[in-house]
Amino acid sequence: MALLGVLVVDQGRMLNEAAVNWLLLFNPTDTYRLFNLAGTTNVGTFSGMAGLAAQVHLGATPLIGVLLLWCAVPLLAATWVFSRREV
């Protein structure tokens, strides 16, 4: 929702296409959508993000890496926080 709000307020003045494409990686749902749409062309034609998936030139490996980071970083942060506290 924050990205949508930024896009509405910006109205194409400051953020270009490349910046929006990279900002999509900060949302795990969008990253997963891009991974699915990049792998299958038939699904991409029926989706609203078909044009966007065609513009993002990331392969499956970087998208899976970003998804793994979305799993690993919160887990590592929680481990670090709870290791410092007495439970």
**Predicted local distance difference test score (pLDDT) of residue 18:** 74
Residue 47 has a pLDDT of: 55
Q: For 6-35, how does the pLDDT look when each residue is reduced to its tens digit (9 = 90+)?
A: 777 877 677 777 777 788 888 898 888 888
Provide the token pair at 7: 């896009």
Instruction: State the DSSP string of 17-80.
Output: HHHHHHHGGGSHHHHHHHHHHHH-HHHHHHSTTHHHHHH----HHHHHHHHHHHHHHHHHHHHH
Cβ–Cβ contacts within 10 Å for residue 84, how many?
A: 7
pLDDT computed for residue 67 by the predictor: 94
pLDDT in tens, 27-73: 898 888 888 877 665 555 555 555 555 556 677 788 899 999 999 99
